Structure 1
Amino acid sequence: MCTSLTYMAEKGAFFLARTMDFGIELGGSPVVVPRNQHFNSDATAEGYDTTYSFVGAGRDVGNYILVDGVNEKGLSAAALYFRGEATYAKTPMTGKTNLAPHEVVNWLLGNMASCAELGQQLTELNVLAIPIALLQVTTPLHWIIADVSGACYVLELDQTGCHYIANPVGVMANSPDFQWHLKNLSNYLQVQPTPHPHRTYGQFVAADFGPGSGALGLPGDFTSPSRFVRLTYMRQYAETAKTPEAAVNVLSHLLNTVDIPRGVKIKEDGSSDYTQYRGYMRMDQPTYYMQPYYDQTISRVILTENLMNQPAPIAFPLEKEQEFKSVNQSVNQHG
Structure 2
Amino acid sequence: MCTSVMYQNAKGNWFLARTMDFSFELGGRPVVIPRNFHFKSDADEKGFDTKLGFTGAGRDLNGYILVDGVNEAGVGAATLYFDGLAKFADQAVSGKTNVAPHEVINWILGNVTSVADLKAKIADLNIVAIANDLFKIIVPLHWIVADKTGACVVLEQDKNGMKVMDDPVKVMTNSPDFQWHLKNLNNYVQLKPTSHSSKKYGEFESEAYGLGSGALGLPGDYTSVSRFVRAAFIRQNTDKAKTVPGSINALSHILNSVEIPKGVKADNEGGCDYSQYRGYMSLDEGAYYMQPYDDQTITRVVMTPELLNAKEPTEFPLKAEQHFNSVN
TM over 0.5: yes
Check conservation: 1:316, 1:327, Cα contact below 8 A. no
Q: Which residue of 1 aligns with 2:70?
A: 70
Q: Does 1:297 align with 2:293?
A: no
Distance in 1, Cα, partners of 2:227 & 2:276? 16
Q: Which residue of 1 aligns with 2:114?
A: 114
Give 3-state SS (helix, strand or coil) of 2:240's partner: coil
Check conservation: 1:263, 1:272, Cα contact below 8 A. yes
1:104: Cα distance to partner? Answer: 0.2
Q: Which residue of 1 aligns with 2:126?
A: 126
1:192: Cα distance to partner? Answer: 0.9
Cα deviation digits, residues 139-187 of structure 1 (max 9, x gap): 1000000001110000000111110000001100000000000000000
Q: Which residue of 1 aligns with 2:12?
A: 12
Q: Which residue of 1 aligns with 2:196?
A: 196
Give the root-mean-square deviation of aligned CA atoms: 1.0
Task: State the percentage of identical aligned residues.
Answer: 56
Q: Which residue of 1 aligns with 2:210?
A: 210
1:189: Cα distance to partner? Answer: 0.6
Q: Which residue of 1 aligns with 2:59?
A: 59
**How many aligned residue pairs are there?**
324
Distance in 2, Cα, partners of 1:226 & 1:264? 15
Q: Pairwise mapping of residues 261-280 of structure 1 onto structure 2 (< 5 A)? A: 261-280=261-280
List runs of 5+ in structure 1 lacking aligned partners: 329-335
Check conservation: 1:81, 1:141, Cα contact below 8 A. yes
Check conservation: 1:70, 1:76, Cα contact below 8 A. yes
Q: Which residue of 1 aligns with 2:164?
A: 164
Q: Which residue of 1 aligns with 2:103?
A: 103
Distance in 2, Cα, partners of 1:98 & 1:310? 26
Distance in 2, Cα, partners of 1:236 & 1:13? 16
Check conservation: 2:52, 2:71, Cα contact below 8 A. yes
Distance in 2, Cα, partners of 1:128 & 1:225? 28
1:209: Cα distance to partner? Answer: 1.1
TM-score, normalised by the number of residues in structure 1: 0.95
List runs of 5+ in structure 2 lacking aligned partners: none
TM-score, normalised by the number of residues in structure 2: 0.97
Among candidates 319, 323, 326, match of residue 322 of structure 2: 326
Cα deviation digits, residues 26-84 of structure 1 (max 9, x gap): 00000000001111100011111111000000000001100000000001100000001
The amino acid of 2:218's aligned partner reads L
1:244: Cα distance to partner? Answer: 1.1
1:327: Cα distance to partner? Answer: 7.8
Distance in 2, Cα, partners of 1:193 & 1:268? 37
Check conservation: 1:301, 1:327, Cα contact below 8 A. no
Cα deviation digits, residues 245-292 of structure 1 (max 9, x gap): 100000000000000000010013220100000000001110000000
